[in-house]
Amino acid sequence: MKRIVLERYLRTHGCTFLRHGSGHDIWRSPDGTRQTSMPRHRVLARGTVRSLCRQLGLPFPF
């Protein structure tokens, strides 16, 4: 999945972007209790997307 598509998915589900790390972006869940780091690659593997969504408490996009 393209990173830009995942970012759009996260924003539509209420997640907020916190900051840039060295090679990752930090995102916070809609309720503000969870956060995760997303690698800054153009394309993310399906397992990585699933893990990020699970860490943020969101449904898997596909």
Mean pLDDT per 10-residue interval, the chain, length 62 residues? 96 97 95 96 96 96 84
pLDDT given for residue 34 in this prediction: 97
Look at residue 42 and tell me if it is in a domain.
Answer: yes
Tell me the CATH number at 21.
3.30.920
Phi/psi region, residue 45 (left: phi>0; alpha: psi -120 to 50; beta: rest), is beta
Q: Domain range for residue 36?
A: 3-56
Look at residue 62 and tell me if it is in a domain.
Answer: no
Max intra-chain CA distance, the chain: 29
Look at residue 61 and tell me if it is in a domain.
Answer: no
Look at residue 49 and tell me if it is in a domain.
Answer: yes
Strand partners, 16: 28
pLDDT given for residue 14 in this prediction: 97
pLDDT given for residue 61 in this prediction: 87
pLDDT given for residue 3 in this prediction: 96
Look at residue 13 and tell me if it is in a domain.
Answer: yes
The count of structural domains within the chain is 1
pLDDT given for residue 62 in this prediction: 80
